[in-house]
Amino acid sequence: MKITDLEIDGFGVWNNLKLTGLSRRVTAFYGPNEAGKTTVMQFIRSVLYGMSTSRRKKYLPPIDGGQPGGTLGIVEGDLRFRATRIADRGPDDVGRVICTTSDGATSGDRLLRESLGDVDEPTYTNIFAVGLDEIHELGMLSGSKAAEWIYRLTSGLDRVSLFDVIQELRANRHSLLNDEGQSSRIVSLTTQRERLRAEVDRLREQNRLWSQLAVKIKELDDQIIAVETEVRKAEHHARTVEIAVGLKPNWRKREKLDEQLGHLSGRVKLPADAIERLNAINADIEKHQRQSDVLQGQRHQLRDEAERLGINELLVRNAQRIDALGEQRDWLQSLQRQQDELEREAKSYEARFTAEQKRLAEALGVKDATRLNELNESDFEALQPQIDALRLAQKRLEQAQRDVDMLSESERSFRTQIETAIVGGESHGLPMDLQEASNLVARLRKRLAVEQRLDMARQHEVELEQQSHDLLDDQVMPLWLFGWLLAAFVAGALMLGVWLLVPDSPFGKYGSLVALVGIGGAAFAWVFKYFADDAAADKLDACQRQMEVVGKQIADAEREKQQVDAELPMTDGSVVLRMQAAERHLAELENVLPVEAQRKQAGGEVANAETRLKQAQREREAAFATWKAKIVALGLPGEIDPQLLLSVTDRYGQLADLEARARHRREDAAARQREHETLLRRIRDLAEEVGCVLKPKVSNDNKQKQEANREKSDAAADRNSTDRNQQIEFANPLDQLDHLLTERRRQLGDVQRREDLVVKAKELKAEEGKHLQTIVGLKRRRGAMFQAGGCEDEQEYRMMAADQHQHALLTQQRDAVTREIVAAIGRHEPEEVFNNLLAPDSIGTLDQMWEQATAGLDLTGNKLKELAEQRGSHTREQTELAKDRSLAERPLDLSVVEKQLEEAKSDWRRHATVNRVLERIRADYEAHRQPETLAEASRYMAKLTNGQYKRIWTPLSNDILLVDNAAGEALPVDVLSRGTREQLFLSVRMALVANFARRGVNVPMVLDDVLVNFDIERTRRAAEVLSEFAAAGHQLLMFTCHEHMWEMFRKLDGDCRRIPVRRGQPEPVAPPVVIAEPEPVAIEEPIAPPKPKKSPKKPRPVVAVPAPAPIPVPALDLYDYPFIERIVEERHAPAVAAPAAVATEAPSEFHEYSFDLPASDYREESHEGEGALAYIVSADDALNRRAESASRRHHTIPNYRRRGDHLEPRRA
C-alpha cells in the first residue's frame, strides 16, 4: 500500500490543501513549529481509521470551514483508488468512506481495509507510527526501564506485547499466592475464614442464652394470661351487679304490664287492619255491582244496531271474485288499446311491404315486381362468397396502394436528409467523402497542437531571455564584494611585505604567522573570485544552451506548421473555427451513413410494394368476372354493381321481415280480441249471480218510446221488456265492473261494522262477567274473615277488634320498657342472668354484692402489674441479644470468603497454566522469530552507528537485550547512551515493519522528528539508512521542523516538501530547480508552467509541465522529477504601467495550496543510469544578489525582509 497524494477539504487549521505526487519511497515534509505538520499526520490516520473522539475534539470542526475530512490517493499493487472520508453526520460519526477506482466505480471501505491488511489502529500506532512523544518517553525512562521497553518491542508485534502479558500474569499469580512472605490474596482469605469461624461459635453461645430467656418469658406470659382472665371475670361480675342495680325500676314496671296483658289474653287474635279491610271489601262490592248494570245496558244497544245494517250475503261471499275482476280492469282497457294498435301496425307494415317491393324491383332493373317473390334468401346467400372475394380483392388493392405511397414518402425523406448534409458541407468547402473529412479533422487538430506548442515555446524563449539578462548582470561582481576582496588581497600582501621587508617590526616572533595569514587571505580572495566568476559563467552557458534548444524547437515547430498548412486547403478564418466546422461536418457524414443504408432499403421495399399492387389488381379483375357469370345465371342484369346487390340483399331481408311483422300483428290482434271477450263474459255472469246488474242509461228516443208504450195495451208490454233486455246486454262492461266494486266496498264496510259490534258486545259481556265474579269473591272473603274471627255477623267482629286494639297498646308499653332494659344490659350478659339477680328473694342484696366484687378486682390488678414488670425486664434483655444480627451475617460472610478462596485458588491454577503456555510460546518465538527480527535490526543498527555496534541479541534465559560493540563486548541496553538507545529503538521498529512487510502487510511508515536528538553525523547516517530502507519497498513519510534534516533527505534525492503557509503566515518560495539537459529525442516540445506574476525578486524555476490534455499530440519522452512545487496565491491582477515597474498590491487573505506532479505509473525504477536527473540546490546567495539588484533597478517594487528561507512582503 502506497499513498500517492492527499487532499484535505477541512481538518484542523487546513482547508483545501492538496499534496500530489508523493514519492513511493521517502517524502520529507519540512515546516516550522505550528506549521500544521501534526495536523497532516493526524489527517492521514483519520482517513485510514476514522475520526476518533480525541481527534474530533481537537481538529473538528475545521477552523476555516470546509467539509470535515478529505481524500487519500492509494496504490495497492495494480489497483489505484482514492479513499474519501467525510465525517458530517453528527458528533459521534467516525466518517463514511467512499473508495473510487480509476474507472469511476465507487464502493465502501472494503478496498481500504484490504489495503491495510487488517492492521488496526493500535497496531499501526505501535509499529508503523514513530513519534516524538515516544522518543521523549524513551529519554525520560531510567536505564533498566528503557531496556525493558525496547525488549518488549521484540517480544510482541501487535497492540499487546507478549512480554507485558507474561509479566502481568506473573504479577497476578504472585498477588494470589506469594511464597516469599509477602501479603497475598489466598493467605489473607484463609486468615479471614478462621476469624469468621471463631466469631460464629461465639454468636451461637449467645443464641442459647436467648433461648433460655424466651422460655422464662413464655412462663410469665402464661401466668399473665391466667391473671388477666381472673381480672376480666372480676370486672365482668362487678359490671353485672352494677347493671342489675340500675334495672330495678323498669323491671318492676314490666311485671305490672304483664299482669294486665294476662287478663286480655286467651281470645282469637285479629289482624291489625281487620276493620280497614272489612270497610274496603264492602266498598268494592258496591262499586262492581254498579259497573255490571251499566255494561249490561250497553250490550243490548249494540245488538239492536247490528240488526239494522241489512247485508247482501251473496255479494259478501263473492267478494274475492269481484276483487280479482277489479284487478283486471286496467288489463281490460289495455287489451282494447292493444287490439287497436296492433291492427293499425298491421296495416302500416302491409303498406310498407308493397312500397319496398316496388323500389327493390326498380333498383335491380326488374320490370315485374312479383319476380322478386321467386328469389329467396338462399339465392342471395349463394352470392355471398363471390361478394366476399370481390370485397377482399378490393381491400388488398387499396392496402397495396397505401403501402406504395408510404414507402415512397419514406424514401424521399431519406434522400432529403442526405442532400441536406451534403449541401451543408459544400457551402463550407468541406469534402464529401467520409475518409477525406476524417483526414481533414486530424490535420486541423495537428495544426492546432503545433500552434499551441509554438506559442508555449515562444513564451519559454522570452522567459529564458529575461533569465539570461539577469545572469549576464550576475557576471559583473558587485562593487561592495569586489571592495572586500580587494581589501583582503591588499591586507594579505601588506602583511607579507611587512614580514619580508621589516623583520624587526613590532610583531616580533609572530611575524611569520602574520605573513602566513596574509598569504591565506590573498589566496582566498583570488580563489573566491575565480570560482564565483566560473559559477556565473556556467549558469549563463546553461541558460544560453537552453535558449538554443528552444530556438531549434521553435524552428522545428515553424517548419511543421508550414508543412501542415501546405497540406490544408487555403481558407481564411481561425483554425479553431475551421476544426469545429470540420468536426461537425464529420459527425454529420457519420450520421448520414446509416441514413443511406436506410434509403437503399426503402427503395427495395418500394419495388416490392409496386409488385404487390399489380398482383392485387389482377386478383380483383378475376373475382369480378366470376361475379358477373353468377349474376346472369340468377336472371339478374349482368351489369349490376356488387355493392348495389349487397345493399339490395340487405333490403330484401328487410322486405321479408316487413311481411312477417304484418302477419304477426294480425295474429296478436285476434288473440287480444278473444281475451277481451272472455273478460266481458265473466263480468256479466258475476253481476247476474250476486243480483247487482247495472241498468244502462236510456237516451231521449228511448224515453219517448217508453211513454208511448205505457199508453199501449198489455201486448205491447212484452215488446218493451224485450227492448230493455237488449239494452242490458249491451251495457258498458267497465261501468258494470265499477258498480260491482262499489257495492262490494259498501257491503264490506257494513260487514266490518257488524263484526266490530259483535266483538265489542263480546268484550262488554266478558267485562260484565268479571265484575260479577269479583263480587262473588269479595263476599266469600268477607265471610272467611267472620269465620276466622269466630263471629256470626259484622257487629260482633267489630267489638272483637276494639278489645284487640287495647291489648296492642299495652303490648307497646311493655315493649318500650323491655327495650330500655335490653339497652341497659347490652351484650354484657343474657337476660336470664339478670332474672336470677332481680328475683324477689335476691333483689335486696345487690348493694352488698357490688362492694365485694370491687375489692376482688383491685387485688387481682396488683398481681397482674407485678408479673408484667418481670416480663418487661426479661424482654429488654432478650431484645438486646436479638439486635445483634451477627449470627445471621457471619455464616454468609464465611460462605462468601470460602467462595472467594475457591475462586482465588482456581484463578491461581488458571494463571499458572496460561503462564506456562505463554512461556512456551515465548521460548518458541525467541528461538525462531525473534532472531530473524533481531538479525535485521542488527543490520540497521550497524549502519546507524557506522559499525560501532554490530549485533543485537537476547539470551533465552533472561528478559533483556544485549548489544555487541565492535570489540565484541556484549553490553546491556541500560549502559548505552541516550542517542544510542534511540538508534536501537529505531532499528527495532524498522525490523518490525520489515517483518510485517514479509507477511504481506506493507503500510506507510510515519516518522515525526525521530532524529531530533541525533548530531549531524548520526542524522546523516540515519537519513541514508531510512532512504535505503525505503528503497527496499517501504514508503516513509518524514515530518521535521529542522531544516538541516530536510536538506539531508533532499541531497539523497528524496521527495522533499515544504509545508505551505496558512492564512496570515508568510508564503514559502521554492528554490530553483536546475534540470539536466535531456537526451535528444525525435520531437521535442517545450512545456512551461503558467506564467507567474513578474517580480524580479522571485526566482523563476525552469520546470517541465505536461502539455494540455484536450489536444491529442504525438507521445513525447518526458521525465518525471521527484520534486516539483507550485504555490498559487489568489491576488487581483496589478495594473502594469511598464515592463520595468510593477504596481504594489495588498496581499490577499485567501490562499490556495497545490502540490502537483505529472501523472506517474508507479513502476520500480532504477537509481542508476536514469535518462534525466532533477535536483534541488540552495539559492540563498543568488536570491540575495537578485533582491539587491532588483531594488536598484525597480524603485516601485515593495521591500522584502527575510524570514527563515522565505520571502514576505513588509506590511505597514
Q: Is residue 331 part of a domain?
A: yes
Q: Which three cell numbers stand for residue 149?
A: 521497553
Burial class, 841, CB count within 10 angstroms (exposed 0-12 / middle 13-18 / buried 19+)? exposed
Using the predicted structure, report yes or no on whether residue 707 has a pLDDT greater than 80.
Answer: no
Which of 570, 605, 622 is where one domain is finished? 570
pTM of the model: 0.35
404 and 500 part of one domain: no
Per the document, the length of the chain is 1212
Per cent of the chain over pLDDT 90 is 4
Do 1210 and 1081 lie in one domain? The reply is yes
**Domain boundary residue, one of 614, 642, 658:** 658
pLDDT band for position 1150 (cuts 50, 70, 90): very low
Residues 524 and 459 in one domain: yes
- 647 and 682 together in one domain: no
Contacts with 612 (C-beta within 8 Å, 6 or more apart), sequence order: 400, 403
Return the top range by mean pLDDT from 459-468, 522-531, 1036-1045, 1154-1163. Answer: 1036-1045
Dihedral (Cα; 414, 418, 421, 427), 10-degree rounding: -130
Segment 1201-1209 mean pLDDT: 36
Mean pLDDT taken over the chain: 72
Mean per-residue pLDDT, 514-523? 74
Residue 245 in this model has a pLDDT that exceeds 90: no
pLDDT at 734: 74
Please indicate, yes or no, if residue 914 is contained in any of the structural domains: no
Q: How far from 1105 is each of 246, 296, 370, 549, 984, CA to CA, in Å? A: 136, 141, 111, 17, 43
Q: Are residues 508 and 591 in the same domain?
A: no
* 702 and 679 both lie in a single domain: yes
Q: CA 363 → CA 358, 651, 838, distances in Å?
A: 9, 11, 149
Indicate the residue among 752, 769, 791 that finishes a domain.
Answer: 752
Q: Looking at the predicted structure, is the pLDDT value of residue 561 above 90?
A: no
Reduce the secondary structure of 596-644 to three states and give it as a string: HHHHHHHHHHHHHHHHHHHHHHHHHHHHHHHHHHHHHHCCCCCCCCHHH
Query: Mean pLDDT throughout 1022-1035?
Result: 90
Residues 647 and 675 occupy one common structural domain: no
For residue 1196, give the DSSP letter. T
- Asked if residue 1045 lies in contact with residue 1019, where contact means CB atoms within 8 angstroms, the answer is yes
- Omega of the bond prior to 1209 within 30 degrees of 0, cis? no
- pLDDT value of residue 1025: 92
pLDDT at 71: 95
| Range 922-945 average pLDDT | 74
Residues 608 and 477 in one domain: no
Judged by average pLDDT, the poorest of 139-148, 217-226, 245-254 is 139-148
- At 1078, the pLDDT band (50, 70, 90 cuts) reads very low
Question: Comparing 572 with 1096, which gets the higher pLDDT?
Answer: 572
pLDDT at 370: 57
pLDDT at site 81? 93
For the chain, the domain total comes to: 4
298-317 residue pLDDT tens: 888 887 877 777 677 777 77
pLDDT for the residue 365: 60
Is the pLDDT reported for residue 926 higher than 80?
no
The confidence score (pLDDT) of residue 1063 equals 52
1038, 1041, 1044, 1046: CA torsion to nearest 10: 30
On whether both 540 and 472 belong to a single domain, the answer is yes
DSSP code of residue 1138: B
Predicted pLDDT at 362: 64
Q: Which residue is listed with cell 481533414?
A: 440
The predicted model gives 547-576 an average pLDDT of 75
Indicate whether 420 and 366 sit together in one domain: yes
Element (H, E) at 107: strand 106-107
1087: pLDDT confidence band, cut at 50, 70 and 90? very low
Share of the chain above pLDDT 70, in %: 69
Q: Are 93 and 85 in contact (CB under 8 A)?
A: no
Q: How far is CA 1050 from CA 22, 886, 1015, 1153, in A?
A: 14, 81, 18, 21
Give the pLDDT band (50/70/90) at residue 267.
low
pLDDT at site 155 = 56
Asked whether residue 115 is domain-assigned, the answer is no
352-366, 788-802, 1165-1179: the lowest-pLDDT one:
1165-1179
Residue-range definition of the domain harbouring residue 1084: 1072-1212
Residue 1094 predicted with pLDDT over 60: no
Q: Which residues contact residue 317 at a Cβ distance below 8 angstroms, ignoring those fewer than 6 apart?
A: none
CATH number at residue 597: 1.20.120
For the chain, the C-alpha Rg in angstroms (whole number) is 70
Domain-embedded: residue 566 = yes
Please determine, for residue 389, whether its predicted confidence score (pLDDT) is greater than 50: yes
Interior angle at CA 1087, CA 1085 and CA 1092, nearest 5: 155
**Would you say residue 619 lies in a domain?**
yes
pLDDT surpasses 50 at 602: yes
pLDDT exceeds cutoff 70 at 647: no
Task: Report pLDDT digits (tens) over 192-237.
Answer: 888 888 888 877 777 777 888 888 888 888 888 888 888 888 888 8
Band of the pLDDT at 263, cuts 50, 70, 90? Answer: confident
Question: For residues 163 and 153, what is the distance between their CA atoms, to the nearest angstrom?
Answer: 9
Angle at 1070 between CA 1068 and CA 1073, to 5 degrees: 175
- The arithmetic mean of pLDDT across residues 1055-1078, rounded, is 56
- The C-alpha cell of 837 is what? 339477680
Model confidence at 585: pLDDT above 80: no
Mean per-residue pLDDT, 368-392: 65
Assess whether pLDDT exceeds 70 at residue 678.
yes
Among the listed residues 1059, 967, 979, the one whose alpha carbon sits nearest the alpha carbon of residue 1022? 979
Give the pLDDT band of residue 498 (cuts 50, 70, 90). Answer: confident
Q: Given a cut of 50, is residue 1211 above it in pLDDT?
A: no
Confidence of residue 642 (pLDDT cuts 50, 70, 90): low
Rounded average pLDDT over 671-687: 79
Are residue 1210 and residue 1087 in the same domain, yes or no?
Answer: yes
Residue 113 resides in a domain: no
Answer whether residue 565 shows pLDDT above 50: yes
pLDDT score for 1010: 83
Report pLDDT for 512: 66
Query: Is 666 part of any domain?
Result: yes
Query: Among 177-181, 690-694, 695-699, 711-715, which is the least confidently predicted range?
Result: 711-715
- Choose from 129-143, 461-475, 1007-1021 the range with maximum mean pLDDT: 1007-1021
Q: What is the mean pLDDT of residues 699-709?
A: 48
pLDDT band at 3 (very low <50, low <70, confident <90, very high): very high
Summarize the confidence of residues 660-689 as an average pLDDT.
79
- The reply to whether 559 and 539 lie within a common domain is yes
163 pLDDT band (50/70/90 cuts)?
low
Please indicate, yes or no, if residue 175 is contained in any of the structural domains: no
Residue 662 in this model has a pLDDT that exceeds 60 = yes
Whether 1055 has a pLDDT exceeding 50, the answer reads yes
Q: Which residue has the cell 515544504?
A: 1058
Q: Give the single-character DSSP code of 1197.
A: S
